[in-house]
Structure 1
Amino acid sequence: MTGGNGPDRAERLGFWRSNSLTLVFGGAFLVVLAAQAVAGRAEFNEQMAVAGLQQIGFGAYLTSSDFAVDVTENWQSEFLQFFLYVFGTVHLLQRGSPESKPLDRTGTESDREQRTGEHAGSDSPRWAGTQDWRQAVYSRSLGLAMALFFFLSWFAQSVAGVSAYNAERLLQFQAPIDWSAYLASSDFWNRSLQNWQSELLAVSAMAILSVYLRQRGSPESKPVGSPHSATGVEG
């Protein structure tokens, strides 16, 4: 008899069902992004009308710095959240939270626990069974990917941001500034920090609220009947 979570069960469920978490949230992302573009263009054109300037079409708005900076400033904060969370939960603990590892498993854990090197199985990813730089990279690949996405989106935010910022300055008959000056500006840091603080608040709230509150059937929650002190247990 095959296990309940094996490949055969995944095949029976079908592609859409077995990938529904990614597909649903990915589809919702595209819908919300499109809605943001529609609302953003309307707001942008309202500002142009007030200034007595020509309004722009939808395609022009999609390629504008105004739209790009609004999108990327949110992306970088989300990837920052997951980058910090993935690396932080290696060593940081929260008693009673399913978001935390058990209190006696802090750190990177042993090769046996992580099934790396000589302890890798036949079904383990190929690089997990190596004992060189490939294992070192692969064993941190999730956090590194989140860090890369964060820095790329933060850089994109800075490039789009300086363009949008200079467009506003020109409307006020002020001289534009270069990219390095924008990196030291209050506009750049206000855009970044206002998103960072909200992400950090959300993570800390999730960590502590999951100690005492439950969501039946969710892996982000403990089983409903688990004691508040149970740590690293998922429902």
Structure 2
Amino acid sequence: MNGGRRRGGFWRDNSLTLAFGGAFLLVLAGQAFAGHAGFNEELATDGLQQLTLGEYLMSSDFAVDVTENWQSEFLQFFLYIFGTVWLLQRGSPESKKLHKAGPESDREQRVGDHAEADSPRWARTKDWRQKLYSRSLGSVMALLFLLSWLAQSIAGTAAYNEQQLRQLQPPVSWGAYLASADFWNRSLQNWQSELLAVAAMAILSVYLRQRGSPESKPVGAAHTSTGVEG
């Protein structure tokens, strides 16, 4: 029995990451094929030579479509991780309990003198390492947002300039593209959808349930129960 558990342990213990990671790759592949077909239709309409799939995957058009979605997702998690330190929603499992707003005490967070034997090594320290580690999740999400935002802006500049040249218009600089309507239209239409999704999840989970999910309260929990997961 223990041997069977060891053999199946990796797939079971990492099934959430593996399932979503695999789905991500499949959807990305689907986007590549669909985007390639759509882009070639535009080229054909303009009387230009079409691209192979490999050429499309290396193009700025594919890069900007991918990175503009990535940066909005990382922005969502960055804001959510830091926002939920202080912001609360009565009755939501997405919120901390109402009396726990703020970074909480060392005892509650099990750091420094209150760390346990199996606590991460940096959680047991009392210097800059603990401060850095205690904010590492949100900081990495912020960094991933900034990097994907930068990649989107660079790829977007290249894609925009390609379109400009097709229309016999002069190209623009990276700085000029950052101030353009095209850049902010791409960014804001993704940001608003992510913020709406977070707000909807926070309030709908007050009244609705999903049995067995840690994103939901237990089915029988009161609507006013806050910070309780199923």
Inter-CA distance 19–152: structure 2 relative to 1 (3 Å threshold): same
Q: 2 CA distance for matches of 1:11 and 1:203? A: 37
1:153 aligns with 2:169: no
1:107 aligns with 2:89: no
Q: Which residue of 2 aligns with 1:5?
A: none
Q: Which amino acid aligns with 1:114?
A: Q
Post-superposition CA distance 1:102-161 (Å, at most 9, x none): 001110000000000111111000000111110000000000010000000000000000
Q: Which amino acid aligns with 1:91?
A: W
Inter-CA distance 204–10: structure 2 relative to 1 (3 Å threshold): farther
Which of 180, 183, 201 is the aligned partner of 2:178? 183
Q: Which amino acid aligns with 1:117?
A: G
Q: Which residue of 2 aligns with 1:4?
A: none
Q: Secondary structure at the match of 1:175?
A: coil
Q: 2 CA distance for matches of 1:9 and 1:166? A: 57
Q: 2 CA distance for matches of 1:9 and 1:184? A: 58
Matches within 5 A, 1:46-65: 46-65=41-60
1:163 aligns with 2:158: yes
Q: Which amino acid aligns with 1:19?
A: N
Q: 1 CA distance for matches of 2:181 and 2:136? A: 33
Q: 1 CA distance for matches of 2:83 and 2:13? A: 29
Post-superposition CA distance 1:11-66 (Å, at most 9, x none): 47510011000000000000000000000000000000000000000100001000
Q: Which amino acid aligns with 2:192?
A: Q
What's the % identity of the aligned pairs?
A: 74
Structure 1: gaps of 5 or more residues: 1-7
Q: Which residue of 2 aligns with 1:133?
A: 128
Q: Which amino acid aligns with 1:198?
A: S
Which of 87, 95, 117 is the aligned partner of 2:82? 87
Report the Cα offset of residue 10 of structure 1: 7.4
Task: Judge conservation of contact 1:10–1:18 (CA < 8 Å) in 2.
Answer: no
Inter-CA distance 134–149: structure 2 relative to 1 (3 Å threshold): same
Structure 2: gaps of 5 or more residues: none
Inter-CA distance 14–145: structure 2 relative to 1 (3 Å threshold): same
Q: 2 CA distance for matches of 1:9 and 1:102? A: 39
Q: Which residue of 2 aligns with 1:21?
A: 16
Which of 214, 219, 222 is the aligned partner of 1:219? 214
Q: 2 CA distance for matches of 1:208 and 1:29? A: 27
Q: 2 CA distance for matches of 1:181 and 1:132? A: 43
Q: TM-score, normalised by structure 2?
A: 0.97
1:200 aligns with 2:195: yes
Report the Cα offset of residue 68 of structure 1: 0.1
Q: Secondary structure at the match of 2:98?
A: coil
Q: 1 CA distance for matches of 2:65 and 2:210? A: 33
1:45 aligns with 2:34: no
Structure 1 residue ranges, 4+ long, deviating more than 2 angstroms after superposition: 8-13
Inter-CA distance 191–164: structure 2 relative to 1 (3 Å threshold): same
